[in-house]
Chains A and B, each alone.
Chain A
């Protein structure tokens, strides 16, 4: 037992030396946990922000001027004023997500108490923005119009609603994407690093060499996960503290240590999965072909990009069953945003651990086979 631990430790030191020797890999690790997190969380957001809007104003009244004035940042970009024909073409070209059509005599009709209709034309091909964007737009229009027509009168709403958005008061997506980006990077790097370190040893024949010695396969597997996992874990935690919390100013609600604990388990599961895929392939090329779709699917269907609840139930079930990423996303959301404690998140962690265990058992079962 003690000998086994000593072996693992020695092999881990060797793996760490190997990582230290690979400058490109170190640069890549630093890049993805710093600049890349920043870049992507700035770009790929699904929050309604600076939405492109055009207005077709056929009224040219003070009311419509007021409306045009009210359509502004942060939710909307300042609107373009177009003729009906231009607006139609522009929307076909995909230039605007929303077009607000203000009909002729809008102000006059409203002041007379006649029926009037404002139409919002939403480009539903921009499916992530059209729905929410048009809801916000119609709220804005209703409010602006009633403010304008009956100034000073407090809303005549029947019900006063107090909205509180918990855990992320302004619903900014940067928080979310930044943390999810960290997780994606852990997924990508851990799978590739651990898997390719096994394949490299196999291609170079070093694994045979080690196995002739009094070293057991599990010692090799553990040392690989320990070394790469340690590096990735430290890099991701530094990324979280320095970049996400420090530079980007995302507040972290829960305990960092609990997050690190969970991330460690996740890192192990990704390492095990990478090794498992590697044990099914013969060379780097095949490993790459296998790993890429697995990574893409795992990231896209983790619940970190679109909500898991909107997937068909069978798919949710399958992803919960095979992908540690789904559990990690729900764990990370609970801890980092909601400040949940271990008592609330332990089921997720147990599931991730169970998946790692299964993957490790598979790797070890295949270990002798991969030598032939």
Chain B
């Protein structure tokens, strides 16, 4: 095969913006092919289309001879393509160990246990990860994460390996090791084609064939040499800059003017033995340095080596654990507002308000820095001019290219004309032209305005522009000096080599010998049956989901303790047993009869007597404060009238109606008491009762008439509706947010396998929850049960399958965890609480409410739960409900499969 992938007239757009504009490209097979170009020119989109994780919108994409628009072909190709998405370790699972991660990927390709073991040990031997098999992926260094990502990609012997910016944000040593590893692997697996996207031009020099991209189009192809000679430049970076369309008179290149040293001046920044510990982890370990005013001081080091933490301590954002720092000779103290006026800070990621326009962002910062009102407008205009932002002043930052956003951040950081700028990787992901422009700004600030600049970077050519640099590793400063000094000190040719040499001295422990000797493709590959492969993929997701859940304390707490807490609080709290109603009396009669009437109330536990009141005004006060629920006034002559029987005595009763349920119940109790009182009197006085009718009430299914007995079975329904649904909805959306959804898109796993695999652990947990809740009901709330618990268990099983399925259905439509949680809660809670018989019996609901209720599984499970606990139901009574619940499970699964997209737009 001559070409591994062919693109013909491919266009791709996100809303109105073209990411790819009519690209036709043939990528040669069996080579390392590089896609080069700045951020946002369409490299990732192109790779996504080739990997099949993005849906081709226009044009033809043919990969390994198959048309990528054909879903069947894509599924078949899934086993031949490996895709490592952008972002360091973004498709890895941080809480899983190296071995567990690789196990997961092996299962996705249907490998059996022995094969997986063989491959894992082979790959980890080859990459030097073997000693760290049990370390969680999240605790690996950047370089190791990358290697793990590579192992995961290679686990199934792909024919085509697609790497999207695999080395962005990794230190030069790890970068170099990574490419050496790729070379060694390629030497063994000669047939494999590799397609890499990168923003580092130095790296591209080692590729066989390049496609340079700009603005959604391929602007040049050929070997690195071809491209250099065509442009007539010595380096690829220069060649690339040369090829870009240029506006007339645009400045190119950066010249560093010498700095005029001032002897005896107070240094701008001094750090003395700074230490920062997070729990047991030491992020910054006794770091000291001095930066004179007006210097450009560079910070070099790998990800997570403590650069950002050090910078944050100098801005006052973080409090050092030990040590201190001075700005212009003044001790930096927490909450020192004056010191902050001197600092401009730019954090690693874009951190301005996306909801404010460029101008509004500048104005807000100007105001917060207390630039006087008359000066503010002028200053904002100046900065807009200076950073060439005037044209886009009214635009929102989210839509702007990265380079311009970084410029805006710098503009914001300088609006109050600070004397110190602290810039944390300001140029990461910015294209070479924009980076040059950015540096010209910095140099002018330093040289013309004497601003001290403290900057961190991954780019060696930027490091070389600094007056002095400091090499950092694992929280310590390895070396400080001018770029020349450092290079000479290590006896190296270039700064990069010097840096690598310095790091190599430090990282022996991590850099286990890698042995590619055993890396051959002839591991016994037993072809498993299709059914076995499908089960293996499903199981891959189940085991992984379980492990992740077990290792996330917050989710685990919510899953296990959440139902118990809800049951206890609601079981005790939601009670319709109206007790201890406070009542007060104004007994103006004070006869034995009136006292007897009062006693009728005070003698039962439903009423609790308060202080007597003596006037209506007093009563008003009592009732307004809510101190009294029922008040009774017995007029003078009550007893007499009762005795004589000539007139019917009248008493007045007031009931607090502000809580209607309580009011009604109070009225009911009162009526009962008064009837009883009258009957007792009649019996004593022998007055003839006119009719001999007795009306008796029998409470069915809950003879004790206790709220808890009726509410607990319904509450089980409510809790099992809410918590499992939220858990499962999060499980899917989380993958979208963290980026691990790429594994679902790029591997042969099917939608059903993915969904069911992820659902299983939650079904198990929810069913376990169910038994815990039943236990609480039986022993804590002492709810009797008359029916068959196994049948209830069966119904609960189908109910939780349905509710977890409901959560997954919601997750198919939502993008973020928060919207998924609230969508699930809002959609599920209202019908479940109001229309499924929890409080209002279904039989008294209006038809529309009844219908809404019945379209959710809760209304079908509630009668089963209540029936089995209280009415002695067996299987035959609830068979229809169980069938309906099974139906819901199936419908939710089918809808989720239909709604879930295997490809991105």
Contacts and interface: CB of A to CB of B under 8 A. Distances in A.
Q: Do A and B bind each other?
A: yes
Interface of A: 3, 6-7, 10-11, 14, 17-18, 21-22, 40, 43-52, 77, 91-97, 110, 113-132, 134-136, 138-139, 141-142, 145-146, 149-150, 156-169, 171-173, 175-176, 192, 196, 204-206, 208-216, 281, 283-290, 292-293, 296-297, 300-301, 303, 305-307, 309-312, 315, 319, 330, 333-334, 337-341, 344, 368, 371-372
Interface in B641-658: 642, 648-658
A157 B678 contact: yes
A310 B570 contact: no
A120 B700 contact: no
Given A145-B693, A163-B653, A310-B579, A284 B661 contact: no
Contact of A214 (B370, B581, B674): B370
A278 to B, nearest CB: 11
Contacts of B374: none
B562 interface: yes
Contact of A14 (B356, B621, B656, B849): B356
Given A159-B648, A159-B674, A205 B355 contact: no
22 contacts: A40-B830, A51-B844, A91-B700, A94-B863, A94-B866, A95-B843, A116-B693, A120-B696, A121-B700, A123-B841, A125-B871, A126-B841, A131-B576, A135-B671, A161-B651, A171-B663, A176-B659, A211-B316, A213-B368, A285-B737, A285-B821, A292-B821
A311 B574 CA distance: 7
B312 interface: yes
Contact of A285 (B335, B566, B713, B730): B730
Contacts of B576: 46, 127-128, 131, 306, 310
B705 interface: yes
A192 to B, nearest CB: 7
A146 B691 contact: yes
A204 B661 CA distance: 47
Contacts of B318: 368, 371-372
Contacts of B698: 119-122
A191 B665 CA distance: 34
A129 to B, nearest CB: 7
B658 A167 contact: yes
A117 B625 contact: no
B201 interface: no
Contacts of A211: 316-317
Contacts, number: 403
Interface string B139-166: 0000000000000000000000000000
Contact of A94 (B621, B709, B842, B849): B842
Contact of A46 (B367, B660, B667, B692): B660
A281 B235 CA distance: 48
Contacts of A344: 621, 624-625
B400 to A, nearest CB: 15
Interface string B579-591: 1111000000000
Nearest to B309: A372
A115 B689 CA distance: 12
B752 to A, nearest CB: 25
B319 interface: yes
Contacts of B349: 204-205
A127 B658 CA distance: 20
A215 B368 contact: yes
A52 B839 contact: no
B463 interface: no
A94 B625 contact: no
B657 to A, nearest CB: 3
B695 A117 contact: yes
List of 8 A-B pairs having minimum Cβ-Cβ separation, nearest first = A168-B657, A288-B821, A124-B702, A285-B817, A135-B668, A205-B351, A337-B658, A284-B818
A319 B569 CA distance: 10
Contact of A158 (B315, B681, B734): B681
A128 B360 contact: no
A360 to B, nearest CB: 17
Interface of B: 278, 312, 315-319, 334-335, 337-338, 340-341, 343, 345, 347-356, 360, 364-365, 367-370, 554-555, 558, 562, 565-566, 569-570, 572-582, 621, 623-626, 642, 648-665, 667-672, 674, 677-678, 681-682, 687, 690-703, 705-707, 709-711, 713, 722, 726, 730, 733-734, 737, 816-818, 820-822, 825, 829-830, 833-835, 837, 839-846, 849, 863, 866-867, 870-871, 877
Contacts of B369: 213-214
B823 to A, nearest CB: 10
Given A10-B368, A122-B699, 8 more contacts: A46-B660, A121-B697, A132-B664, A150-B690, A171-B660, A204-B351, A211-B316, A319-B573
Contact of A281 (B351, B554, B674): B554
Contacts of A136: 668
B667 A340 contact: no
A167 B662 CA distance: 13
Contacts of B649: 159-160
Contacts of B356: 14, 17-18
Q: Considering residues B278, B578, B703, which has the most beta carbons from chain A within 10 angstroms of its beta carbon?
A: B578
B841 A309 contact: no
A171 B833 contact: no
Given A118-B695, A212-B317, A123 B700 contact: yes
Contacts of B648: 157-160
Contacts of B566: 293, 296-297
Contact of B340 (A139, A161, A214): A214
A146 B690 contact: yes
A340 B655 contact: no
A209 B843 contact: no
Contact of A205 (B347, B555, B621, B734): B347
B788 to A, nearest CB: 15
Contact of B840 (A46, A132, A146, A301): A46
Contacts of B700: 91, 121-124
Nearest to B831: A43
A214 B677 CA distance: 75
A3 to B, nearest CB: 6
A311 B345 contact: no
B818 A287 contact: yes
Contacts of A290: 554, 558
Nearest to A311: B573
A130 B703 CA distance: 11
A338 B334 CA distance: 51
A192 B819 CA distance: 11
Contacts of A134: 697
A213 B340 CA distance: 6
B807 to A, nearest CB: 12
A311 B818 CA distance: 33
Contact of B834 (A40, A175, A205, A301): A40
A307 B345 contact: no
Contacts of A289: 554-555, 558, 562, 726, 730, 821
B710 to A, nearest CB: 4
Given A135-B671, A158-B681, A206 B844 contact: no
Contacts of B842: 94
A77 to B, nearest CB: 7
B817 A288 contact: yes
A292 B701 contact: no
B643 to A, nearest CB: 11
A333 B658 contact: yes
Contacts of A214: 337-338, 340-341, 368-370
A205 to B, nearest CB: 4
A32 B348 CA distance: 39
A297 B692 contact: no
Contacts of B367: 6, 10
B839 A128 contact: yes
A47 B664 contact: yes
A239 to B, nearest CB: 17
A221 B366 CA distance: 20
A287 B558 CA distance: 11
